[in-house]
């Protein structure tokens, strides 16, 4: 019985890690499609917007989401588009990826 519980716990941990990795990968894909033409992260991307390589060291999750939804709130002259209409799953994946940039 103890061995079965250990195996179940190990399987659950692997499943959670796999889901987390897939979400991060999806967020990285969304970043590449929607953000990297202007923003650089980890040495890759554009130079129009700020380098986001260490963005999560500077901004909390809620602030990241707010910036994505309404970039002109903190900088009215920003040319960054709003991502408010991004589907929730995509927004969560993108914010999740940005949180890995420390």
In this structure, is the dihedral angle defined by the CA atoms of residues 59, 101, 84 and 18, taken in order, positive or negative? negative
Confidence of residue 81 (pLDDT cuts 50, 70, 90): very high
Write down the pLDDT at residue 16. Answer: 41
Does the structure show a pLDDT above 60 at 12? no
CATH for 25-99, options being 3.40.50.970, 2.170.150.70, 1.20.58.110, 1.10.760.10: 1.10.760.10
| φ, ψ dihedrals at 83, nearest 5° | -110, 25
Contact status, residue 27 vs residue 83, Cβ threshold 8 Å? no
Any idea where the domains of the chain sit in the sequence?
A: 25-99
DSSP E strands in the chain: the ranges are 40-41, 44-45
pTM attached to this predicted model? 0.76
| Inter-axis angle of helices 88-99 and 2-34, nearest 10 | 100
User: What 3-state DSSP class applies to 14?
Assistant: helix
**pLDDT of residue 46 exceeding 60:** yes
Lowest mean pLDDT among 18-27, 37-46, 48-57, 64-73: 18-27
């Amino acid at each position: 019985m103890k061995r079965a519980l250990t195996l179940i716990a190990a399987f659950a941990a692997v499943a959670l890690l796999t889901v987390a990795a897939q979400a991060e990968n999806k967020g990285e894909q969304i970043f590449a499609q929607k953000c990297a033409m202007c923003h650089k992260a980890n040495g890759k991307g554009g130079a129009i917007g700020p380098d986001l390589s260490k963005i999560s060291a500077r901004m909390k999750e809620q602030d990241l989401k707010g910036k994505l939804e309404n970039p002109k709130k903190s900088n009215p002259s920003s040319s960054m588009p709003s991502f408010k209409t991004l589907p929730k799953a995509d927004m969560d994946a993108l914010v999740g990826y940005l949180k890995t940039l420390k």
